[in-house]
Chain A
C-alpha cells in the first residue's frame, strides 16, 4: 500500500508530533488546560486500515510525543487507547457513508457535523484516559475532571481548525 495516502500519513505523523511538541506544549491557558492536537493523526487515519495496524501506529505516535516531553508511557497509553476506541466512535456516530470505499474521515467527505461529534468523542476519550493516568489517582477528581473538560474543548477546537486549514484532499 505504498501509495500517495501512505506518504501523506507519514508527513502528517511528523507534522503532528512537531506541532504538538514545539507549539501546543508551550501553550497554556492559566495552567489548567493543555491542548493536545496529536490525536488528529489517529482521527484522520483511513477507515480501511487494519485496526491492529492503527493500534501500532498510535503506539509509535504516542511514543514520539513522549520522547520529547519526557513523560514516558503517558501519551503512549492514551494514544493506544484512542485508537482502540476509534471503531466504537464511528459505530456510535454512524453515518451511512462510512462504509463506502474511498471515504476518508474528514470534513470533505462526511460533513462538518459528523466530523465535530466524531472528533469530540475521540478527544474526550483520549483526554479522559490521559489526565487520569497522569494524576494516577482519584484524589483530585474534580480538578482533573475540570482539566479534562476544558482541555477537550480547546483541543477539539484546534483539531477542527487544523483540519479546515490542511484539508487532506482538495478536490
Chain B
C-alpha cells in the first residue's frame, strides 16, 4: 500500500495530466453532438451576456456599412410594394390580397457570436423562444443563406452555420434549373462545394447558385453563391463544383430568421406520404 502511494506521488504529474485529459475529452465527446442545447442554456448564459455587450460595441463601429445595406434593401423592398406598380385597370384583380397566402415571415435578429474558422461553425443570435424562434428555422442575411437554427433558449438561439461539416443545403443553378446539394469542404470559409450535378449539364463559371426551395426551411431563390470552378473527373457521372459564397461570413452582423407559416401542414402531408 505504501509502495502504491509513493508510486502515485512519484508519478503524480502524469496521473493529474491523464485525469484532466479524460475530463476534457469527455466534455469534448458529450458536447460534440448536434444538439448543443445544454451548452447554450447553461454555460453560455454568462458568456452570451458578455458577448452581447461586445457585439453592441462592434456593431456601433460597423453602423455605417449596415445602414447603407439596409437602405438599399429598403429601396428594393419599396419597389416591390403595390403602390410602386403602374396599375392597369383590368389587372387590378390580381392584386387582391385574398389571392395570396403568406408563406414565410421573417424575424430580424442580430448576431452576438460568430465563428468561421473551425471545422464546425456555429452562430449565436439574440432572438429566442420568447420571440417565436423554433428549431429548424432557416437563417439568411441580406446577401444570402447563413444557416439553420439548431437549439433555442429563452432569449438566444444557436445556428448551425453552412460552414459546418454536416450542413447540406438543397441548391439550384439558376441558368439551367438543375438541383444539387451544397456542402462545406472545410478549407476556406469563402468556398463551398456543390454536389450531385450530373455530367451532361452545361455549366459556366459565374453561374449563380440559389436555394431550390425543395426543403421547407428556405424559400426558393435565396442566393448561396456562384460557380467559381468546376471539374469533371473521367469516369464520374457528377461534377466537382466549387462555389464562392455570396455572403462574407466574416462580416455578417444582421440576419433574418425565416418562419415558414405552413410548415405544420407540409409536415403533415409528408407524414401521410411516409405512412403509405
Q: How large is the interface on B (under 10, 10 to 19, 20 to 34, 35 or more residues)?
A: 35 or more
| Residues of B close to A52: CB separation below 8 A | 12-13, 16
Find residues 139-159 in chain A having any chain B CB closer than 8 Å to their own CB: 140, 143
Looking at chain B's contact residues, the main secondary structure is helix
Mask of B103-119 contacts with A, CB within 8 angstroms, 1/0: 00000000001011111
A102 at the interface (CB under 8 A from B): no
Q: Which residues of A are found within 8 Å of B44, using beta-carbon distances?
A: 67, 70
* Contact indicator A55/B117 (Cβ below 8 Å): no
Chain A interface mostly helix, strand, loop or mixed? helix
Contact call B27/A31, Cβ cutoff below 8 A: no
Given A56-B20, A68-B51, A31:B189 Cβ within 8 A: yes
Given contacts A28-B189, A67-B47, are A73 and B20 in contact (CB under 8 A)?
A: no
Which residues of B, 70-129, contact A by the 8 Å Cβ criterion?
113, 115-119, 122, 124
Given contacts A28-B116, A140-B186, contact A70 B25 (CB under 8 A): no
Q: Given A68-B47, A80-B24: A30 and B31 within 8 A (CB)?
A: no
The minimal Cβ–Cβ distance linking B29 to chain A, given in whole angstroms, is 8
With A70-B113, A74-B28: A31-B187 Cβ-Cβ less than 8 Å: yes
B135 located at the interface, meaning its Cβ lies under 8 Å from any Cβ of chain A in the complex? no
Q: Is A72 an interface residue (CB 8 A)?
A: yes
* A interface with B by C-beta (< 8 Å): 22, 25, 28, 30-32, 34, 51-52, 55-56, 59, 62, 66-74, 76-77, 80-81, 83-84, 87, 133-135, 140, 143
For the complex with contacts A25-B117, A68-B51, A83-B17, 14 further pairs of A-B residues with Cβ separation under 8 Å are A28-B117, A31-B116, A31-B187, A52-B12, A59-B20, A71-B118, A72-B28, A72-B30, A72-B31, A72-B39, A74-B28, A77-B24, A87-B13, A143-B187
